[in-house]
Amino acid sequence: MEGSPTRDFFLGLFVLAGLMALAYMSFSIGGLQYKGTGGLAVFATFDQIAGLKPKAPVEIAGVKVGLVKSIRLDDTYRARVDLDLDKELKLPVDSSAAIVTAGILGDRYIQLTPGAEETYLKAGEQISYTESALVMERLIGKFLVNVQDKSQSKTEQPKADNP
């Protein structure tokens, strides 16, 4: 077996397959970018981000166009979300950003809706129109309060009518 061509062939194959597995793991699954971070950096502020996390995807019409770079609190106690978008993306200045949920309990992501203006956002500018995340607990709370109010105003009604 000492240095036979067959052994060398299999060894080469092994190393190649191992490196390919590493590369697949890093680039395809892990999403390692080799082009560097030179994207379009814009930001948006929200009243409530409710579980949006850095690296969450940013989508337009369901197509991923970038990701959330960082999230912090600004001076007015609103959440400032920095986005890293594709460099080629031309985003009108009156575009809006909304935090939405994939499915009822899924991950949060940002959905951009392009506006109609002819001028485009430049790096470092703000997406001014935003729509905050819906907080499930708050919705349920409002719903329960409404139900309670109704049931109190109609005390004559039998209880079975209430959901």
Partner 1 sequence: MISRLGRWAGGVLEELGRVAVFAGRIVTVTFRPPLRAREFLDELFKAGVLSLLIICVSGLAVGMVLGLQGYNTLVRFGAANSLGAVVGLSLIREMGPVLTALLVTGRAGSAITAEIGAMKATEQLDGLRMMAVDPIDYVIRPKAWAMLVAMPLLSAMFIVTGIVGGYFVGVGLMGIDGGTFVSSLQNAVDFHDDVAGSILKSVIFGTLVGLISTYRGYTATPTSAGVSAATTSTVVLASVLVLIFDYFITALWGV
Sheet holding 57-60, edge to edge: 126-127, 40-46, 79-85, 63-73, 57-60, 108-113, 96-101, 129-131
Q: Output the CA–CA distances (angstroms, integers) from residue 152 to 18, 57, 93, 139, 160, in the order listed.
A: 69, 45, 48, 20, 14
The one segment of 11-19, 81-89, 90-98, 123-131 that binds partner 1 by CB under 8 A = 11-19
Minimum distance from CB of 102 to partner 1 (Å)? 9
Q: Which part of the chain contacts partner 1 (CB under 8 A), choosing from 81-89, 100-108, 113-121, 134-142?
A: 100-108
**Selected range binding partner 1 among 25-33, 90-98, 115-123, 139-147, rule: CB under 8 A:** 25-33
CA 56, CA 60: separation in Å to the nearest integer? 13
| Contact between 13 and 21 (Cβ < 8 Å) | no
Q: Which helix (H) or strand (E) holds 11?
A: helix 5-23
Indicate whether 152 belongs to the interface with partner 1 (CB under 8 A): no
Determine if 5 is a binding residue for partner 1 (CB under 8 A): no
CB of 99 to partner 1, least distance (A): 16
Which CB atom, from 13 or from 144, has the smaller least distance to partner 1? 13
- State the residues that interact with partner 1 by CB under 8 A: 1-3, 7-8, 10-11, 13-15, 17-19, 21-22, 24-26, 28-32, 55, 57, 103, 105, 107
